[in-house]
A and B are shown apart, each in its own frame.
Chain A
């Protein structure tokens, strides 16, 4: 609990710092909110006074009533203006804060090491950037302004009530907390019901997610009825739990309203008796009317505040999540950001140790040297470390020990961006940006001419299918649909063909392309690889036969290396892998 509150304190301070550019506006907004409340609360007093001038037939001082009423209008206008101003300012500060938070978070994401992004679910990170930052701004900014005006309302109401009649005020002030305690009591009792409802809802969502996503398979096996029965069972439980949770939580309003009504009756009774003089003296009818309208309003800010406090707690949690992301250390670059020159392509790995999970060694003492322009193929069973090698070459991950050198210089000497600019990479997991085909191909070379783009597409044999798309090169495509896996890989290959950096990394780059098309791209591939150091990971052994060097990996080690014919002749692990495809 203590830890939470100290964490909350830090989050609060940071939020205050976040607001610094708007500090003048924020102060103004608070002042306006207070002004709006005070002006509005003064109105019942004025009206009470006016009512005291209107007693009965022939006992009305109209000439004195009119100026009082005009003052009501002035205060109403002033209050309205203040409220409008405060609302407008809050809206602006809120929108701008969310925006600057999100932009900062987005910038941070570009700098975070992949180890962070790989180990945190995408939905979670996205939630921090989008939802949590909004909750932070909404909750903390609006929450505070509501909290503030709530407190001002309570103080002013109390003050005005005491000004009208201190005994009645005391009565109202003592009785009011009763409704708050009741509300609290109900909330605590219903919490368990909501927790249960949320658990069943989670169970149902998981079930829906699984069976609707896999609906085609469900149907292929005629499982509809069994699923429907399971769904009905969960749904029945959920409906029951929901009725309970919704009903019991909705008791808060009627019960507090009832208690407020009792207080109102008590105040009216005591006030009326005061006026008639049997229980004291000095209260007028106008005063009683003003007082009753205060008594009516007095409980409202209490209810609001308890709501706001819950929301504030919630948004502090969100705030902490956003700040956690912003505080995550980004990747460090060497001083002066030295750029790596275009490489000749000599690559050496020296005594590399690496593991994702530091308790389990994955790669141990891996050394390897590649001459410029050589084609290196990496083969081996799943999980042997092929893709890890690529993560290290691209500096998506840093080795735990050892070094990687390009053209004889440790890659740590250069910025990551300049190192990566020397590599062209095609991965098995293709990624398509939501943009036109043209923009997707020109991803790494935004200033490419149309002619260059078409040439790259033709070389990668993507041109034909692109032209068949509804709007050709201007068709908007996205990661979620439209293209087959093979077509996506062809586009990714076109991207690299357009850029042609000095070194290439192809991680299962053609795994979803049929072998016949692959054969057709092969020429372009060979041309592209000529004079470029290339690292090729392939499941399909037909693509690795012509490599200058084949690395056979197993359990994080290179167990065999050499040319295809030599390895085959050796009759080792590679030969076994290779021959199994002909059985």
Chain B
């Protein structure tokens, strides 16, 4: 939890002051039984009404000071907790932004979102409670014991025996429960997942008539949850009665011992009452403490999860110290024997891929599902780093170039067409903040999205979260436009026309070709029609390059390419 403590240091002042003020308040509270004792011994026994009134006023004054102290403490505590949580969220967000694609894959996006939202909130609550209450309770317990000793050391021995006993019972039960809570949580997660699965797949479940089996499995998972829950509850239910019984045993011993001492004159009646009051205070505080610790322990497990994200390496390997210089005359983009393997994967996703691409050229990449097409695309802007071989941009190793340069020179259209909340303009200006409206409209025109944009209300049209107010095909065309803004040198289209009908796709292809001056284009597709016009076509089969050449050459020389082509055109050709 080093990372978290480091960030907590910023709130050192609040974190010290808040508990300190709370402790002062608790001290004041500890004086109350003493005042009651004095009231009895000095006031009542001596019939001194003036003393009684003065003592009551002191009690009220103590209450007022207590109020002021604790309000100030609450303020510091709220500031520390909220500020710390805010800082954590920011650190986490920044950390997530530093992760490489490979890191994002292995950590999982939903988990990261939970860390930054739910987990941080839990930590905030836990910290607030810790500062305000957690430190106070043990202090009151021990303070009460110390005060008891100052009142009457002999009788206070009861406290010395009772407090460790209570501590063992309360914390013993709690410690037994905390891991059980974890198991309850896990079992509940499984039950939820089961229910979610059944709901998400309801059509399949009904089509195959497995409703009953689904219900039965749910019931089985739930039986497990219920049994753990009941066990946890049974253990937890012991705590309160056990503590209550122990304290009353203490009271029994205390008063029995006190009776003897008062009789012998070693102790006054008021002192005995004070000791009795301390005993009840201890009971109340211990139960509070136990409940608190459960909340705080949840916070701690969240904190640990957050910490594990913060200490995670960003996944960015060491880079060559100096950017390599472009080599004159080198092709714009070159793959030299490139292989890549995903983390934890058993086999390479692609192996031994080589090709060159010059300005103004188009490269098509084709292959079956899982053949590694997208992997090649994602290596170009260095979303992932090649595990073997070299990728060169103008003859300079890609790894030596700063990320900002890659982003500026390469326009990427991802497979999943995602837009972000804002306006059409804010979405399109991603590559170039200062793009003029003319540039944006031209990009829309090329991407065959001008009509869509106009229909939605132009560049200022609202875009909902994830682009939910646009259809899949519209989103695809808009993401193409987004990549075109700022005139990239290389345009990578990762299966970016899959949701378009054939007519629209062919119009897009023509428009891209028309304004391609000096731009190299990489098109990935499953359709031969989409890439047949390319200058070069790379054919991948299970990650291995099996062909590189023009459409005509490949039809002659590459069996896989011919099979793909035939699967899409054969019968037409036969009939024609």
The residues in B between 398 and 424 inclusive whose CB is less than 8 angstroms from any CB of A are 403-404, 407-408, 412, 414, 416, 418, 420-421
**Residue A272 is within 8 A (CB to CB) of chain B in the complex:** yes
Given contacts A79-B244, A99-B226, contact A54 B39 (CB under 8 A): no
Residue numbers in B under 8 Å from A129 (CB-CB): 195
Collect the chain B residues with CB atoms within 8 Å of residue A485's CB: 369
Whether the pair B252, A479 counts as a contact (CB closer than 8 A) is no
**30 A-B residue pairs with CB within 8 Å:** A54-B258, A54-B269, A57-B265, A65-B259, A72-B248, A73-B248, A76-B244, A84-B241, A96-B226, A109-B198, A110-B214, A208-B113, A214-B418, A215-B96, A215-B99, A243-B78, A250-B128, A251-B71, A254-B74, A257-B66, A258-B63, A268-B39, A268-B56, A269-B53, A278-B49, A427-B204, A487-B370, A519-B563, A542-B569, A580-B503
Report B345-361 CB contacts with A as 1/0, cut-off 8 Å. 01100000000000000
- 3 closest A-B pairs by beta carbon, nearest first, are A486-B369, A91-B233, A261-B63
Asked if residues B230 and A417 are in contact (CB atoms below 8 Å), the reply is no
Complex: chain A residue closest to B44, CB-CB = A275
Asked if B213 is at the interface of the complex by the 8 Å CB criterion, the answer is yes
Residues of A within 8 A of B77 (CB): 250
Contact B230 A95 (CB under 8 A): yes
Q: Is B222 an interface residue (CB 8 A)?
A: yes
Determine whether the beta carbon of A273 is less than 8 Å from that of B237: no
Q: Which of B86-94, B322-330, B441-449, B454-462 is the contact stretch?
A: B86-94
- Bound-complex Cα distance A239 to B80 (A): 10
B23: min CB distance to chain A, Å: 14
Q: For B412, list chain A residues within 8 Å (CB).
A: 220-221
**CB within 8 Å for A60 and B259 given contacts A268-B56, A394-B207:** yes
Question: Which of A155-163, A225-233, A311-319, A527-535 faces chain B?
Answer: A225-233
Asked if B211 lies at the interface with its beta carbon under 8 angstroms from chain A, I say yes
Which B residues, 244 to 260, have Cβ-Cβ distances below 8 Å to chain A?
244-245, 248-249, 251-252, 255-256, 258-260
Q: Are B45 and A56 in contact (CB under 8 A)?
A: yes
The smallest C-beta distance from B569 to any residue of chain A, in angstroms, reads: 8
Binds A, one of B171-179, B272-280, B385-393: B272-280
Q: Which of the segments A100-108, A369-377, A403-411 contacts the partner chain?
A: A100-108
The reply to whether A126 and B49 form a contact with Cβ atoms under 8 Å apart is no
Across-interface contacts of A394 in B (CB, < 8 A):
203, 206-207
Q: Which residue of A lies closest to B52 (CB)?
A: A272
Asked if residues B52 and A581 are in contact (CB atoms below 8 Å), the reply is no
Interface size class of B (residues with CB under 8 A): 35 or more
Q: Would you call A365 an interface residue if the criterion is a C-beta within 8 Å of the partner chain's C-beta atoms?
A: no
Measured between beta carbons, the chain A residues less than 8 angstroms from B89 are 204, 235
Contacts of A98 in B (CB 8 A): 226
Asked if B264 is an interface residue, CB under 8 A from chain A, the answer is yes
Q: Is B122 an interface residue (CB 8 A)?
A: no
Interface residue B197 (Cβ < 8 Å from any Cβ of A): yes
**Is B132's beta carbon under 8 Å from chain A?**
yes
The answer, yes or no, to whether A31 is at the interface (CB within 8 Å) is no
Are B273 and A289 interface neighbours, CB within 8 A?
Answer: yes
For residue B78, which residues in chain A have a CB less than 8 angstroms away from its CB?
Answer: 242-243, 246-247, 250
Interface string of B194-212 (1 = CB under 8 A from A): 1111111111111111111
Contact between chains at B71 and A99 (CB < 8 Å): no
Q: Does any Cβ of A come within 8 Å of B297's Cβ?
A: no
| Partner of A219 from B32, B192, B383 at Cβ < 8 Å | B383
Kindly state the separation between the CA atoms of A231 and B95 in the bound complex, as whole angstroms. Answer: 13
Shortest distance between the CB of B511 and any CB in chain A (Å): 13
Interface residues of B in 551-576 (CB under 8 A from A): 560, 563-564, 566-569, 571-572
CA–CA, A485 to B415, complex, Å?
A: 13
Complex contact B104–A542 (CB within 8 A): no
B135 CB-CB contact with A under 8 Å: no
Q: Which of A55, A69, A221 contacts B255 (CB 8 A)?
A: A69
A212 in contact with B369 (CB, 8 Å): no
Interface: A433 (CB within 8 A): yes
**A425 at the binding interface (Cβ < 8 Å):** yes
Query: Are A223 and B245 interface neighbours, CB within 8 A?
Result: no
B40 at the interface (CB under 8 A from A): yes
Given contacts A117-B199, A479-B197, 6 further A-B contacts (CB under 8 A): A50-B259, A72-B251, A227-B97, A254-B67, A382-B471, A514-B371
Interface string of B276-313 (1 = CB under 8 A from A): 11001000000000000000000000000000000000
Q: Which residues of B are found within 8 Å of A275, using beta-carbon distances? A: 44
A583 touches B117 (CB 8 A): no
Does A571 sit within 8 A of B, measured CB to CB?
no
Complex CA–CA separation, A132 to B325 (angstroms): 63
Number of interface residues of A (CB under 8 A): 155
Mark contacts of A420-452 with chain B using CB atoms, 8 A cut-off: 1 yes-contact digit, 0 otherwise.
110101010101111000000001101000000
B259 near A513: Cβ-Cβ < 8 Å: no
- Supposing A219-B101, A583-B506 touch, asked if A262 and B63 sit within 8 A by C-beta, the answer is yes
A336 at interface by CB-CB < 8 Å: no
A220 contacts B104, C-beta separation under 8 Å: no
Contact at B564–A214, with CB atoms within 8 Å? no
In the complex, A4→B252 CA distance in Å?
51
| Interchain nearest-CB distance for B507 vs A (Å) | 9
Shortest distance from the beta carbon of A398 to any chain B beta carbon, whole Å = 14
Most buried by B among A125, A218, A243, A266: A243
Q: Known contacts A91-B233, A109-B198: does B112 contact A57 (CB below 8 Å)? A: no
Residue of B nearest to A276 (CB): B47
Provide the bound-state CA to CA distance between A99 and B226, in Å.
7
| Residue in chain B with minimal CB distance to A274 | B44
A122 to B200, CA, bound (A): 7
A140 CB, nearest partner CB in chain B, Å: 17
Q: For the complex, what is the distance from the CA of A218 to the CA of B132, rounded to whole Å?
A: 40
Q: Which of A204, A242, A423, A514 interacts with B367 by CB under 8 Å?
A: A514
Distance (Å) between the CB of A129 and the closest chain B CB? 5
Quick one: which of B218-249 are within 8 Å of A by CB? 218-219, 222-223, 225-226, 229-230, 233-234, 236-238, 240-242, 244-245, 248-249
A212-B237 contact, Cβ under 8 Å, with A219-B383, A242-B82: no
Residues of A within 8 A of B567 (CB): 515-516, 518-519, 542
A18 to B197, CA, bound (A): 27
Question: Cβ of B94: which chain A residues have Cβ within 8 Å of it?
Answer: 228
Q: Are B195 and A106 in contact (CB under 8 A)?
A: yes
In this assembly, does B215 line the interface, its C-beta being within 8 Å of a C-beta of chain A?
A: yes
B83 on interface, CB distance cutoff 8 Å: yes
State how many angstroms separate the Cβ of B419 from the closest Cβ of chain A.
9
Given known A87-B241, A205-B117, A210-B420, contact A216–B101 (CB-CB < 8 A): yes
Complex Cα distance, B105 from A215, in Å, reads 11
Contacts of A580 in B (CB 8 A): 501-503, 506
Q: How far is the CA of A563 from the CA of B422 in the complex (A)?
A: 47
Specify which of A58, A213, A238, A254 lies most central, judged by the most chain B CB atoms within 10 Å of its CB. Answer: A254
Interface contact B215-A516, CB-CB below 8 Å: no
B64 at the interface (CB under 8 A from A): yes
CB-based nearest A residue for B410: A220
Across the two chains, which residue of chain A brings its CB closest to B426? A226
Return A38 CB to nearest CB of chain B, in Å. Answer: 14
| Cβ contact within 8 Å between B369 and A126 | no
Q: Using Cβ atoms and an 8 Å threshold, which residues of chain A touch B240?
A: 83, 87
Whether B1 is near chain A, meaning CB under 8 Å from some CB there, is no
Asked whether, in the complex, the Cβ of A272 is within 8 Å of the Cβ of B501, the reply is no
Q: Pick from A102, A122, A220, A261: contact of B407, CB below 8 A.
A: A220
* Cα(A102)–Cα(B276), bound, Å: 48
* A429 surroundings in chain B (CB, below 8 A): 203
Query: With A50-B255, A83-B241, A293-B280 known to touch, is A514 a contact of B369 (CB < 8 Å)?
Result: yes
Is B262 at the interface (CB under 8 A from chain A)? yes
Task: Kindly state whether residue A170 has any CB partner on chain B within 8 Å.
Answer: no
Across-interface contacts of A492 in B (CB, < 8 A): 204
